[in-house]
Structure 1
């Protein structure tokens, strides 16, 4: 926690919740998770956001963070199992908890928190390819514009969310 000029504590709350099975019954089935972020930190463009990501996207993010983090440690992800083995409620809940811990540790690192890929992952629904393209200047928009665009579209915030600090 940090203090801002108003003597109010700065906070960043991230939650991984609501696992959903997508493409159920097909060979392309997967589980995705809702990532809900609420903050008053100046580090973030949008103060509240909500996106859905799957494990493969978390694995991509970790790899990207490792590339750019230098000597800063990058938190571990929960283990990977073939989907047909790992599709039990207990496994999905353990994975959800592991993904939550991964994000909590990532946002505590000033080095990782300064990576725009992390911000785009948490605050836009861009694909991982589009995140890379944006960060590398191959999109007609900046990371900040992508995040604000998503927030303004009303998809970045769902009214059902209530969050107590």
Structure 2
């Protein structure tokens, strides 16, 4: 059994991902989110919610309509014990760019997560850039998780080598 790591020090203006709850909490965010892919902006909205879960950077969900025609239903599905069944989308950008299964949503979220209905999250590492409140975000380490790392977070973050048991 792997022990919980020692949380990084929290600097002024930061929050620790180790203070996030399990089961996860969903909350509205008062920041603009913008996503660029294939050299074009594919989403731009201030209607943003985030999911906070212990050891993870927040995952940001935007209204599906904010993506216009940049999403097509992709292959596969997954299941979260808290949020329910997820489906995946292929993301389309400028110049014919396609990122396969680079976005997901919960078409029928479980009780307590209804606000995620008709919202989509994207893997920041698959996009040209994701911007939150004017800050270009870093993708959550590891490639499997979809959190967005910003300067107002203290880790360490799930996804780094050796963190599977956190």
Q: Which category describes the TM-score, using the shorter chain as reference length?
A: under 0.3
TM-score under structure 1 length normalisation: 0.28
TM-score under structure 2 length normalisation: 0.28
Structure number, greater radius of gyration: 1
Query: Whose strand proportion is higher, 1 or 2?
Result: 2
Query: Whose helix proportion is higher, 1 or 2?
Result: 1
More contact order relative to length (CA 8 Å, sep ≥ 6): 2
